[in-house]
Structure 1
Amino acid sequence: IVSMHGRNQNLIAAVAQNSKVFSLTGGEHSPNQLCLKLCDHGMADVKVYVGENLSYPEEKITYGTASEISKLEFPSLSVMMILNEHANDFKYTVHGLNDDLFIRSKVPMTKQEVRSVSISKLMPKVTDNIYDIGAGTGSCSIELALQAQAGRVWAFERNPLALELLEKNKALFAVNNLDIVAGEASEQLVDMPAPDCVFIGGSGGNLCKMLDTIYTKNSDCRVVINAITLETLIEVVEYYKTRSEYDLEIVNVFAARGKKLGAYNLMMAQNPVYIMTALKKGE
């Protein structure tokens, strides 16, 4: 049961993961607009019943596919029953999903082992507003959106190829609570809602400026920064020397993955990553 009346719940994920979903509609979330979103996420063929003016003489129930319903007009205050025969009942109850689940290319991606530790340090809550800065392929954005199903995630990325992958992975995982923001993050952050927590995988040389903007919006914001270079590590350490109200924790994660070579198995080292967590003292 989902209410889209004055709310922004993740109806798309609910339909993708459940064979039966009942939803209240209202405002901008009319039945046809919601069905358009279902179509955009590859669920044009799900069966939809729309009830309008229930219990009144003009009561009417309309049946069709999401594609058919999206072309019709209904009162904003209606109800929907959505049936998905191909629902995936696997619920993403843990973070650190297998890398192979994501659509990938040469665009950098935060790998499973590092992603799992980073999200653990970030401690996202189900209702959090979250920034993912330098989102790349979107592996962290997707996982954060799955963790914060009653919240919202903004993925900031400036690479056109990465933006294409972000859109594809968003559709693949049906995370309608993920917004993709194109362009330079340090400029785009200014007009965004205040975040509860922020993951920074890439800063484009504007790290200190972005942190200042983030803390102006919410001084209690939880921040996790990943870095592979000593220069970024030093920049973060120096920044938090001037912000004595925060505790900075640094973890260096080394991971190696097995690779088959003939009859032997070799361990192939991945790049060591610095995972830096900044929390306001007392939290």
Structure 2
Amino acid sequence: FSLTGGENSPQKLCAQLCEHGLGQVQVYVGENLSYPEEKITSGTAEEISALDFPSLSVMMILNEDAQSFNSTVHGLADDLFQRSKVPMTKQEVRSVSMSKLQPKTTDIIYDIGAGTGSCSIELALLASQGKVWAFERNPVAVELLGKNKALFGVDNLEVIAGEALENIKAMPAPDCVFVGGSGGDLCEMLDVIYAKNSDCRVVINAITVETLAEVAAYYKEHPAYSLEIVNVFVARSKHLGSYNLMMAQNPVYVMTALKKED
């Protein structure tokens, strides 16, 4: 049940339902209730979205097939996310990365270089009682992040636009950090992160040997941490007539840094 107002008119809300594949749910709109010109209109969300209503109305939405979204495993299918040409951590690599990061339900988490937000969304679902900050400097990616946040309804995800190095300084100390892109400031960001929480769990993904070398050199200078490097190779099938051809994806280095036990 919704009390509409301002720019959030019944037709606009129904248009948003249509965008999320809910165009066939049943909707009732009440106008001018208790007045002589009282009117109640019923129809599907798709039908209501094409009509005009006073901004101040009431709306009842009935969905007989409503299901809550409960993520029981990490590694959601790529096609569940809204996508564009913005880089995205694919399902298989994402699953390995989440396994290495091991986020807890109440964790405070940074996703640095969040891209489309596929990892941010998964982290927010896993840390349902915690908080995720997604840092991204590409305006197109920031917009896409917002759309995916709305799509999955993850209120514990905060999107931060701009350079991550400057923005993380004012943030609460993280329990774990995922780095999908650093913009050339990786070592400085790690220094800031460990100054906030020396026990922070860190997973860094990279596709270049230069980033691999940079990470290896950093942790060689920080012997309090153990560094594990996994090179993930993934190939996906592609239909070629009546055959399946395996197409290789970019190999990804998944690097996990954990503080050594005393």
Q: Aligned-pair distance for 1:125? A: 0.3
Which residue among 120, 126, 148 is the counterpart of 1:141? Answer: 120
Q: Which runs of 4+ in 1 moved over 4 A?
A: 83-86
Which residue among 188, 205, 214 is the counterpart of 1:226? Answer: 205
Matched, 1:200 2:175: no
Q: Residue 15 of structure 1 aligns with which residue?
A: none
Work out which of the two has the higher radius of gyration on C-alpha atoms and give 1 or 2: 2
1:133 corresponds to which letter in structure 2? I
Question: What is the TM-score normalised by the length of structure 1?
Answer: 0.71
Matched, 1:129 2:108: yes
The 1:85–1:149 alpha-carbon spacing in structure 2 relative to 1, beyond 3 Å, is farther
Q: Deviations over 1:145-182 (max 9, x none)?
A: 00000000000000010011100000000000000000
2:221 corresponds to which letter in structure 1? T
Distance 1:46 1:225 in 2: 46
Q: Aligned-pair distance for 1:282? A: 1.8
Matched, 1:165 2:144: yes
Q: Aligned-pair distance for 1:89? A: 3.0
Q: Residue 85 of structure 2 aligns with which residue?
A: 106
Runs (5+) with no aligned partner, structure 2: 18-24, 28-55, 57-61
2:193 corresponds to which letter in structure 1? I
Q: Residue 213 of structure 1 aligns with which residue?
A: 192
Q: Deviations over 1:26-81 (max 9, x none)?
A: xxxxx99xxx9xx7xx68x999xxxxxxxxxxxxxxxxxxxxxxx8xxxxxxxxxx
Instruction: Report how many aligned residue pairs link the two structures.
Output: 219
State the SS of the aligned residue for 1:248: strand
2:196 corresponds to which letter in structure 1? K
Distance 1:159 1:231 in 2: 22
Q: Residue 96 of structure 1 aligns with which residue?
A: 75
Q: Aligned-pair distance for 1:84? A: 6.9
The 1:192–1:228 alpha-carbon spacing in structure 2 relative to 1, beyond 3 Å, is same
Q: Aligned-pair distance for 1:90? A: 4.0
1:198 corresponds to which letter in structure 2? V
Matched, 1:264 2:250: no
Q: How high is the sequence identity, in percent, across the aligned residues?
A: 72
Q: Deviations over 1:206-254 (max 9, x none)?
A: 0000000000000000000000000000000000011110000000000
Runs (5+) with no aligned partner, structure 1: 1-30, 48-70, 72-82
Q: Deviations over 1:87-135 (max 9, x none)?
A: 3234111000000000000000000000000000000000000000000
The aligned runs of 1:46-125 (5 Å cut-off) are 87-125=66-104
Which residue among 250, 272, 277 is the counterpart of 2:229? Answer: 250
Question: What is the TM-score normalised by the length of structure 2?
Answer: 0.77
Distance 1:169 1:209 in 2: 29
